[in-house]
Protein backbone atom coordinates (compact mmCIF):
# COMPACT_ATOMS: atom_id res chain seq x y z
CA UNK A 1 0.00 0.00 0.00
CA UNK A 2 2.73 2.46 0.97
CA UNK A 3 4.53 1.68 -2.29
CA UNK A 4 1.38 2.68 -4.18
CA UNK A 5 1.11 5.92 -2.18
CA UNK A 6 4.76 6.68 -2.79
CA UNK A 7 4.27 6.00 -6.48
CA UNK A 8 1.30 8.39 -6.67
CA UNK A 9 3.24 11.09 -4.84
CA UNK A 10 6.22 10.64 -7.14
CA UNK A 11 3.97 10.89 -10.21
CA UNK A 12 2.35 14.03 -8.81
CA UNK A 13 5.79 15.60 -8.29
CA UNK A 14 6.82 14.76 -11.84
CA UNK A 15 3.62 16.25 -13.24
CA UNK A 16 4.07 19.36 -11.10
CA UNK A 17 7.65 19.85 -12.30
CA UNK A 18 6.54 19.22 -15.90
CA UNK A 19 3.73 21.80 -15.62
CA UNK A 20 6.15 24.31 -14.11
CA UNK A 21 8.62 23.69 -16.93
CA UNK A 22 5.87 24.23 -19.50
CA UNK A 23 4.98 27.57 -17.92
CA UNK A 24 8.61 28.62 -17.89
CA UNK A 25 8.74 27.90 -21.63
CA UNK A 26 5.89 30.34 -22.16
CA UNK A 27 7.82 33.27 -20.70
CA UNK A 28 8.91 35.89 -23.21
CA UNK A 29 12.63 35.16 -23.67
CA UNK A 30 14.82 38.24 -23.35
CA UNK A 31 17.15 37.30 -26.18
CA UNK A 32 20.03 39.51 -27.17
CA UNK A 33 19.32 41.05 -30.57
CA UNK A 34 22.04 42.88 -32.45
CA UNK A 35 21.18 46.53 -33.11
CA UNK A 36 21.93 46.03 -36.82
CA UNK A 37 18.63 44.13 -37.03
CA UNK A 38 16.79 47.44 -36.63
CA UNK A 39 18.70 49.34 -39.35
CA UNK A 40 16.27 50.25 -42.16
CA UNK A 41 18.76 52.14 -44.35
CA UNK A 42 18.77 49.57 -47.15
CA UNK A 43 15.19 48.41 -47.37
CA UNK A 44 13.79 48.09 -50.94
CA UNK A 45 11.03 50.44 -52.06
CA UNK A 46 9.31 47.84 -54.23
CA UNK A 47 7.24 44.92 -52.96
CA UNK A 48 9.09 42.56 -55.30
CA UNK A 49 12.30 43.19 -53.40
CA UNK A 50 10.89 42.42 -49.96
CA UNK A 51 12.41 39.46 -48.18
CA UNK A 52 10.50 38.71 -44.97
CA UNK A 53 11.35 35.45 -43.19
CA UNK A 54 8.18 35.45 -41.04
CA UNK A 55 5.89 32.58 -42.14
CA UNK A 56 2.79 34.77 -41.75
CA UNK A 57 2.77 38.56 -41.99
CA UNK A 58 0.81 41.65 -43.01
CA UNK A 59 1.46 45.37 -43.42
CA UNK A 60 -1.39 47.86 -42.95
CA UNK A 61 -1.73 51.65 -42.84
CA UNK A 62 -3.67 52.94 -39.85
CA UNK A 63 -5.72 55.85 -41.25
CA UNK A 64 -7.20 54.11 -44.30
CA UNK A 65 -6.77 50.45 -43.33
CA UNK A 66 -5.02 49.84 -46.65
CA UNK A 67 -3.11 46.55 -46.79
CA UNK A 68 0.22 47.13 -48.53
CA UNK A 69 1.70 43.65 -48.32
CA UNK A 70 0.76 40.25 -46.96
CA UNK A 71 2.01 36.70 -46.69
CA UNK A 72 -0.25 33.89 -45.48
CA UNK A 73 -2.16 36.59 -43.63
CA UNK A 74 -5.30 34.49 -43.17
CA UNK A 75 -3.62 31.38 -41.80
CA UNK A 76 -5.05 30.61 -38.35
CA UNK A 77 -2.21 30.44 -35.84
CA UNK A 78 -1.61 30.69 -32.11
CA UNK A 79 -0.87 34.33 -31.21
CA UNK A 80 0.78 33.87 -27.79
CA UNK A 81 0.78 37.15 -25.84
CA UNK A 82 -0.17 39.21 -28.89
CA UNK A 83 -3.59 38.09 -27.63
CA UNK A 84 -3.26 40.92 -25.13
CA UNK A 85 -3.84 43.52 -27.86
CA UNK A 86 -7.53 42.64 -27.52
CA UNK A 87 -7.30 42.55 -23.72
CA UNK A 88 -5.76 46.03 -23.73
CA UNK A 89 -8.33 47.27 -26.26
CA UNK A 90 -11.23 46.27 -24.01
CA UNK A 91 -9.55 47.98 -21.04
CA UNK A 92 -8.92 51.17 -23.02
CA UNK A 93 -12.47 51.26 -24.36
CA UNK A 94 -13.83 50.78 -20.84
CA UNK A 95 -11.71 53.70 -19.61
CA UNK A 96 -12.81 55.94 -22.48
CA UNK A 97 -16.47 55.08 -21.89
CA UNK A 98 -16.20 55.87 -18.18
CA UNK A 99 -16.90 52.29 -17.09
CA UNK A 100 -13.40 52.11 -15.60
CA UNK A 101 -11.03 54.70 -14.20
CA UNK A 102 -7.25 54.54 -14.30
CA UNK A 103 -7.24 55.14 -10.55
CA UNK A 104 -9.66 52.27 -9.86
CA UNK A 105 -8.11 49.75 -7.49
CA UNK A 106 -7.72 46.19 -8.83
CA UNK A 107 -7.39 43.34 -6.35
CA UNK A 108 -5.46 40.24 -7.40
CA UNK A 109 -7.29 36.94 -6.89
CA UNK A 110 -5.69 33.63 -6.05
CA UNK A 111 -6.38 32.53 -9.62
CA UNK A 112 -4.62 35.57 -11.09
CA UNK A 113 -1.69 35.24 -8.70
CA UNK A 114 -1.26 31.63 -9.80
CA UNK A 115 -0.71 32.48 -13.46
CA UNK A 116 2.68 31.48 -14.79
CA UNK A 117 4.78 32.74 -17.66
CA UNK A 118 5.57 36.43 -17.90
CA UNK A 119 4.38 38.05 -14.69
CA UNK A 120 5.02 40.70 -12.07
CA UNK A 121 4.50 38.19 -9.25
CA UNK A 122 1.28 39.60 -7.84
CA UNK A 123 0.23 38.08 -4.55
CA UNK A 124 -3.29 37.08 -3.66
CA UNK A 125 -5.03 40.14 -2.25
CA UNK A 126 -2.40 42.56 -3.58
CA UNK A 127 -3.92 45.77 -4.90
CA UNK A 128 -2.80 48.18 -7.60
CA UNK A 129 -4.51 51.01 -9.47
CA UNK A 130 -5.58 50.14 -12.99
CA UNK A 131 -2.91 52.44 -14.46
CA UNK A 132 -0.21 50.29 -12.85
CA UNK A 133 -1.86 47.02 -13.87
CA UNK A 134 -2.18 48.31 -17.44
CA UNK A 135 1.50 49.25 -17.46
CA UNK A 136 2.40 45.72 -16.33
CA UNK A 137 0.28 44.19 -19.10
CA UNK A 138 1.55 46.46 -21.87
CA UNK A 139 5.24 46.66 -20.97
CA UNK A 140 5.98 43.31 -19.30
CA UNK A 141 3.14 41.20 -20.76
CA UNK A 142 2.15 40.29 -17.20
CA UNK A 143 -0.28 37.38 -17.27
CA UNK A 144 -1.18 37.80 -13.60
CA UNK A 145 -2.10 41.47 -14.13
CA UNK A 146 -4.10 40.65 -17.28
CA UNK A 147 -6.19 38.05 -15.48
CA UNK A 148 -6.69 40.29 -12.44
CA UNK A 149 -8.09 43.09 -14.62
CA UNK A 150 -10.17 40.65 -16.69
CA UNK A 151 -11.77 39.28 -13.52
CA UNK A 152 -12.39 42.80 -12.23
CA UNK A 153 -14.13 43.78 -15.47
CA UNK A 154 -16.14 40.65 -16.25
CA UNK A 155 -16.22 38.53 -13.08
CA UNK A 156 -14.11 35.75 -14.57
CA UNK A 157 -11.52 35.24 -17.27
CA UNK A 158 -13.97 33.05 -19.20
CA UNK A 159 -16.58 35.83 -19.22
CA UNK A 160 -13.91 38.30 -20.33
CA UNK A 161 -12.87 35.97 -23.15
CA UNK A 162 -16.50 35.96 -24.30
CA UNK A 163 -16.34 39.76 -24.46
CA UNK A 164 -13.12 39.49 -26.46
CA UNK A 165 -14.82 37.25 -29.01
CA UNK A 166 -17.83 39.55 -29.21
CA UNK A 167 -15.57 42.54 -29.90
CA UNK A 168 -13.65 40.52 -32.47
CA UNK A 169 -16.89 39.82 -34.34
CA UNK A 170 -17.82 43.51 -34.23
CA UNK A 171 -14.47 44.41 -35.79
CA UNK A 172 -14.85 41.81 -38.54
CA UNK A 173 -12.11 39.51 -37.26
CA UNK A 174 -13.55 36.53 -39.07
CA UNK A 175 -10.87 33.95 -38.26
CA UNK A 176 -10.33 34.62 -34.55
CA UNK A 177 -11.40 32.71 -31.46
CA UNK A 178 -10.09 33.55 -27.99
CA UNK A 179 -10.31 31.18 -25.02
CA UNK A 180 -8.36 33.35 -22.56
CA UNK A 181 -7.04 36.87 -22.10
CA UNK A 182 -3.31 36.10 -22.08
CA UNK A 183 -2.35 33.64 -24.83
CA UNK A 184 -0.25 31.89 -22.18
CA UNK A 185 -1.49 28.35 -22.64
CA UNK A 186 -1.22 26.85 -26.13
CA UNK A 187 -4.92 26.06 -26.38
CA UNK A 188 -5.53 24.54 -29.85
CA UNK A 189 -8.81 26.49 -30.06
CA UNK A 190 -7.17 29.83 -29.24
CA UNK A 191 -6.41 31.00 -32.78
CA UNK A 192 -6.23 34.13 -34.89
CA UNK A 193 -4.52 35.47 -38.02
CA UNK A 194 -2.06 38.19 -38.94
CA UNK A 195 -4.88 40.09 -40.66
CA UNK A 196 -7.17 39.92 -37.64
CA UNK A 197 -4.37 41.04 -35.33
CA UNK A 198 -3.73 44.03 -37.62
CA UNK A 199 -7.43 44.91 -37.43
CA UNK A 200 -7.52 44.93 -33.63
CA UNK A 201 -4.15 46.69 -33.44
CA UNK A 202 -5.47 49.42 -35.70
CA UNK A 203 -8.50 49.82 -33.45
CA UNK A 204 -6.29 50.04 -30.36
CA UNK A 205 -3.95 52.75 -31.65
CA UNK A 206 -6.93 54.93 -32.53
CA UNK A 207 -6.90 55.55 -28.76
CA UNK A 208 -3.80 57.70 -28.87
CA UNK A 209 -3.24 57.80 -25.10
CA UNK A 210 -2.34 54.11 -24.94
CA UNK A 211 0.96 55.06 -26.58
CA UNK A 212 1.98 56.60 -23.26
CA UNK A 213 2.25 52.94 -22.20
CA UNK A 214 3.25 51.16 -25.41
CA UNK A 215 6.30 53.40 -25.90
CA UNK A 216 7.73 52.78 -22.41
CA UNK A 217 11.15 51.16 -22.62
CA UNK A 218 11.83 50.74 -18.90
CA UNK A 219 9.81 51.65 -15.80
CA UNK A 220 9.01 50.46 -12.31
CA UNK A 221 6.07 49.55 -10.07
CA UNK A 222 5.67 49.13 -6.31
CA UNK A 223 7.29 52.51 -5.59
CA UNK A 224 10.33 51.70 -7.68
CA UNK A 225 10.93 48.30 -6.08
CA UNK A 226 10.12 46.19 -9.15
CA UNK A 227 11.52 46.91 -12.62
CA UNK A 228 9.70 46.57 -15.93
CA UNK A 229 11.44 46.16 -19.26
CA UNK A 230 9.73 46.17 -22.64
CA UNK A 231 10.32 43.04 -24.72
CA UNK A 232 9.47 45.04 -27.86
CA UNK A 233 12.96 46.22 -28.72
CA UNK A 234 11.64 48.29 -31.63
CA UNK A 235 10.55 50.82 -28.99
CA UNK A 236 14.20 51.55 -28.27
CA UNK A 237 15.92 50.95 -31.58
CA UNK A 238 13.47 51.74 -34.41
CA UNK A 239 12.79 55.37 -35.32
CA UNK A 240 9.14 56.27 -34.74
CA UNK A 241 8.12 53.03 -33.00
CA UNK A 242 4.82 53.43 -31.11
CA UNK A 243 4.32 49.85 -29.87
CA UNK A 244 2.68 47.42 -29.73
CA UNK A 245 2.92 43.85 -28.38
CA UNK A 246 5.28 40.88 -28.49
CA UNK A 247 4.40 37.26 -27.87
CA UNK A 248 6.08 33.91 -27.50
CA UNK A 249 5.24 30.33 -26.67
CA UNK A 250 6.99 27.16 -27.75
CA UNK A 251 4.12 26.33 -30.12
CA UNK A 252 3.34 29.86 -31.36
CA UNK A 253 6.96 30.86 -31.91
CA UNK A 254 8.01 34.49 -31.78
CA UNK A 255 5.17 36.87 -32.66
CA UNK A 256 4.87 40.64 -32.89
CA UNK A 257 2.32 43.33 -33.63
CA UNK A 258 4.49 46.37 -34.35
CA UNK A 259 3.39 49.95 -34.94
CA UNK A 260 5.41 53.00 -35.94
CA UNK A 261 4.73 56.59 -37.01
CA UNK A 262 6.75 59.06 -39.05
CA UNK A 263 5.62 62.35 -40.56
CA UNK A 264 2.07 61.80 -39.34
CA UNK A 265 1.63 58.40 -41.02
CA UNK A 266 1.35 55.25 -38.88
CA UNK A 267 1.77 51.67 -40.04
CA UNK A 268 1.04 48.28 -38.48
CA UNK A 269 3.21 45.23 -39.18
CA UNK A 270 2.16 41.84 -37.80
CA UNK A 271 4.48 38.83 -37.97
CA UNK A 272 3.66 35.38 -36.59
CA UNK A 273 5.40 32.07 -35.93
CA UNK A 274 8.94 33.39 -36.36
CA UNK A 275 11.86 31.12 -35.52
CA UNK A 276 13.63 33.64 -33.29
CA UNK A 277 13.23 37.02 -31.67
CA UNK A 278 15.70 38.53 -34.15
CA UNK A 279 13.67 37.13 -37.05
CA UNK A 280 10.44 38.75 -35.87
CA UNK A 281 12.12 42.15 -35.40
CA UNK A 282 13.90 41.83 -38.74
CA UNK A 283 10.59 41.01 -40.45
CA UNK A 284 8.63 43.82 -38.79
CA UNK A 285 11.41 46.35 -39.37
CA UNK A 286 11.60 45.44 -43.05
CA UNK A 287 7.85 45.86 -43.54
CA UNK A 288 7.65 49.15 -41.65
CA UNK A 289 10.73 50.53 -43.37
CA UNK A 290 9.33 49.58 -46.77
CA UNK A 291 6.08 51.41 -46.00
CA UNK A 292 7.84 54.58 -44.86
CA UNK A 293 10.11 54.55 -47.89
CA UNK A 294 7.55 53.78 -50.58
CA UNK A 295 4.24 55.34 -49.51
CA UNK A 296 2.77 58.59 -48.29
CA UNK A 297 -0.63 59.68 -47.03
CA UNK A 298 -2.22 62.52 -49.00
CA UNK A 299 -5.42 64.48 -48.62
CA UNK A 300 -6.42 65.68 -52.09
CA UNK A 301 -8.18 69.04 -52.29
CA UNK A 302 -10.24 70.69 -55.03
CA UNK A 303 -8.23 72.93 -57.33
CA UNK A 304 -10.41 75.84 -56.17
CA UNK A 305 -12.36 76.60 -53.02
CA UNK A 306 -15.82 74.99 -53.13
CA UNK A 307 -18.36 77.73 -53.98
CA UNK A 308 -21.59 78.27 -52.05
CA UNK A 309 -24.74 76.75 -53.56
CA UNK A 310 -27.91 78.88 -53.86
CA UNK A 311 -31.00 77.52 -52.10
CA UNK A 312 -34.54 78.10 -53.41
CA UNK A 313 -37.41 78.46 -50.95
CA UNK A 314 -35.02 78.16 -48.04
CA UNK A 315 -34.68 80.05 -44.78
CA UNK A 316 -31.10 80.66 -45.90
CA UNK A 317 -30.09 81.87 -49.32
CA UNK A 318 -27.18 79.49 -49.75
CA UNK A 319 -25.26 76.63 -48.16
CA UNK A 320 -21.51 76.03 -47.98
CA UNK A 321 -20.54 72.52 -49.15
CA UNK A 322 -17.59 70.64 -47.62
CA UNK A 323 -15.68 67.46 -48.40
CA UNK A 324 -16.95 64.36 -46.65
CA UNK A 325 -14.86 61.71 -44.96
CA UNK A 326 -12.62 59.41 -46.95
CA UNK A 327 -10.54 62.07 -48.64
CA UNK A 328 -7.21 60.74 -47.31
CA UNK A 329 -5.44 58.34 -49.65
CA UNK A 330 -2.34 56.20 -49.35
CA UNK A 331 -0.30 56.34 -52.54
CA UNK A 332 3.23 55.71 -53.68
CA UNK A 333 5.55 58.63 -53.09
CA UNK A 334 6.52 58.62 -56.75
CA UNK A 335 2.87 59.26 -57.70
CA UNK A 336 2.15 62.01 -55.16
CA UNK A 337 2.74 64.86 -57.61
CA UNK A 338 0.50 63.37 -60.31
CA UNK A 339 -2.79 63.21 -58.39
CA UNK A 340 -5.59 65.38 -59.82
CA UNK A 341 -9.13 66.17 -58.72
CA UNK A 342 -12.38 66.88 -60.59
CA UNK A 343 -15.42 68.40 -58.87
CA UNK A 344 -19.07 67.95 -59.82
CA UNK A 345 -21.39 70.17 -57.78
CA UNK A 346 -25.11 70.99 -57.87
CA UNK A 347 -25.87 74.40 -59.43
CA UNK A 348 -28.68 75.06 -56.96
CA UNK A 349 -30.82 73.35 -54.32
CA UNK A 350 -34.47 73.52 -53.30
CA UNK A 351 -35.29 73.50 -49.60
CA UNK A 352 -35.62 71.54 -47.48
CA UNK A 353 -32.01 70.31 -47.59
CA UNK A 354 -31.23 67.80 -44.85
CA UNK A 355 -27.97 68.22 -42.90
CA UNK A 356 -25.31 65.95 -44.38
CA UNK A 357 -26.97 65.74 -47.80
CA UNK A 358 -24.65 64.90 -50.66
CA UNK A 359 -24.62 67.70 -53.22
CA UNK A 360 -21.64 66.69 -55.31
CA UNK A 361 -18.59 64.50 -55.76
CA UNK A 362 -14.85 65.06 -55.94
CA UNK A 363 -13.17 62.45 -58.14
CA UNK A 364 -9.51 61.79 -57.36
CA UNK A 365 -7.46 60.46 -60.26
CA UNK A 366 -3.95 59.29 -61.05
CA UNK A 367 -3.75 59.74 -64.79
CA UNK A 368 -6.91 58.02 -66.04
CA UNK A 369 -7.19 55.76 -63.00
CA UNK A 370 -9.87 56.74 -60.49
CA UNK A 371 -8.41 56.45 -57.00
CA UNK A 372 -11.43 57.62 -55.03
CA UNK A 373 -14.73 59.46 -55.19
CA UNK A 374 -15.19 61.72 -52.20
CA UNK A 375 -18.73 62.92 -51.38
CA UNK A 376 -19.37 66.64 -51.07
CA UNK A 377 -21.88 67.39 -48.32
CA UNK A 378 -23.90 70.22 -46.78
CA UNK A 379 -23.21 69.90 -43.03
CA UNK A 380 -25.89 72.37 -41.90
CA UNK A 381 -28.67 71.82 -44.44
CA UNK A 382 -31.44 74.36 -45.08
CA UNK A 383 -35.02 74.47 -43.76
CA UNK A 384 -37.86 75.32 -46.13
CA UNK A 385 -39.56 78.67 -45.73
CA UNK A 386 -43.23 78.52 -44.60
CA UNK A 387 -46.26 80.70 -45.32
CA UNK A 388 -45.98 82.08 -41.82
CA UNK A 389 -42.39 83.10 -42.60
CA UNK A 390 -43.67 84.89 -45.72
CA UNK A 391 -46.36 86.69 -43.68
CA UNK A 392 -43.82 87.76 -41.05
CA UNK A 393 -41.51 89.09 -43.73
CA UNK A 394 -44.36 91.07 -45.31
CA UNK A 395 -45.39 92.43 -41.95
CA UNK A 396 -41.84 93.53 -41.36
CA UNK A 397 -41.77 95.37 -44.67
CA UNK A 398 -45.13 97.04 -44.11
CA UNK A 399 -44.61 98.09 -40.49
Catalytic positions, written as ranges: 81, 84, 141
- Say how far apart CA 241 and CA 234 lie, in whole Å: 6
Region class of 350: left (phi > 0), else alpha (psi between -120 and 50), else beta? beta
| 283 and 255 Cβ atoms separated by less than 8 Å | no
Minimal CA–CA distance to 234: which of 33, 61, 28, 27? 33
Give, as one character, the DSSP assignment of residue 179.
S
Instruction: Count CB-CB contacts under 10 A for residue 326.
Output: 12
Minimal CA–CA distance to 314: which of 384, 392, 387? 384
| 260 and 267 Cβ atoms separated by less than 8 Å | yes
Residues whose CB is less than 8 angstroms from the CB of residue 121 and which lie 6 or more positions away in sequence, other chains included: 144, 226
| 80 and 255 Cβ atoms separated by less than 8 Å | yes
Asked, as a colleague might, if the bond just before 352 is cis with ω within 30 of 0, I would say yes
- Say how far apart CA 29 and CA 146 lie, in whole Å: 19
Report helix, strand and coil shares of the chain as percent, to nearest 5: 35, 25, 35
Amino acid sequence: MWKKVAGVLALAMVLSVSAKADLEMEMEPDEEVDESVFDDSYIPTSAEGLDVPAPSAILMEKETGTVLWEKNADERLRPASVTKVMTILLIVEAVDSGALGLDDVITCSANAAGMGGSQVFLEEGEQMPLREMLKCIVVSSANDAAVAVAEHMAGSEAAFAARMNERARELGMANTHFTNCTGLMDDPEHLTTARDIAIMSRELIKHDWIKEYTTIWMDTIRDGQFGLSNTNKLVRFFDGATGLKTGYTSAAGHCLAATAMRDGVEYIAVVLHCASSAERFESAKTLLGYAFGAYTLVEPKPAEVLPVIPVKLGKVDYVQPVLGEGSKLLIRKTDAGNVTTEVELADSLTAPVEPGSQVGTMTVKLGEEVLAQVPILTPDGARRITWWDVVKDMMGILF
